[in-house]
Amino acid sequence: MNLCIHLSIVSLLLAFYTSCSITSNITEVNQNRTPSFTSIPQLDFILEENYLIVYTLQRGSADGKNFSTALDFQNYAWALNKAKYREQKKYDNSELDNLHTKKFRDNFDTYFEELKNSIQYKKLYKETVEYKNDCAKEWNKNLNKSFELMKKITKLHFQFPKSVKIYITHPAVSNGSALDRKNFKIAWGDWGHFPNYSTVYLWHEILHSFMDIDDVSHAVIQMATDNELRARLNNTTFPPFVGHESLKPLMDKIYSKWKTYLNSEMNLIDFAKTINDSL
């Protein structure tokens, strides 16, 4: 084969391989930094008993409807074994794997079995099951509408894993956090303070899986879900703002730019970046 032709073929192959490699890397970066969503989120509502027990005991307080159920269980667990009650507080309840290690089981299986056989726990469990079913019913009722609204508000193209896992706790011990942002694991449990409350805040926690962890990103998430989504679902308006009190001054600063953002082609992630750059 002519040497020039041979070299040309090699060059073309190298160029093709390099192009594929670069394209692959860009795709990977885009998936990690700017999610490209293509499907509706399918939520799996889970009542994980060890997590329910530990979270309820570690909160140490309760309020709202049926608050006495949680308080009665906390008081019973304390009276049953004060040493074990204190010891379980050392475990980080946001790390679910911690609650299933051999060390944890060896320390707490007997204590937890006694708790689970109590009247107090059975009432807590029953009410949590009912709340879990109510959350699932509300989410599924609102899913199509809330999904379309979130696409309009965020301007993101949604793609989710096969299952977004929602770990439910008793609503009297307020809970709402992204347990594992990378793997879409969320903790949830809170009595509603307005219609479609769980729908709004589950979307809030879902967005935490795609946004940076800082005050600006959190304020932008609150603007998108706690306020914009809530207002559109419930046919109401804002301000006044709903959300963490500590972030409301920042939301006041963002508000005029938020209205401009809604009429732009910018997506929510880029909007948060522009706000961060302007501060």
Answer whether residue 109 shows pLDDT above 60: yes
pLDDT at 119 over 60: yes
Can you tell me which residue has the tokens 């073309």? Answer: 12
pLDDT at residue 172, rounded to an integer: 95
Q: How far apart are CA 53 and CA 277, in angstroms?
A: 43
The pLDDT of 164-192, averaged and rounded, is 94
Averaged pLDDT, 213-234: 97
Average pLDDT on 126-151 reads 97
Would you tell me how many other CB atoms lie within 10 Å of the CB of residue 103? Answer: 9
Q: What average pLDDT score do residues 31-58 get? A: 79
Rounded percentage of the chain residues whose pLDDT exceeds 90: 72
**Apex 52 CA angle, 51 and 58, nearest 5:** 85
Q: Is 252 helix (H, G, I), strand (E, B) or coil?
A: helix
**The predicted structure's pLDDT at residue 70:** 95
200-66-131 Cα angle (round to 5): 45
* Of residues 92, 109, 91, the one with CA closest to residue 49: 109
Mean residue pLDDT of the chain comes to 86
What pLDDT is attached to residue 26? Answer: 23
Contact 227, 259 (CB under 8 A): no
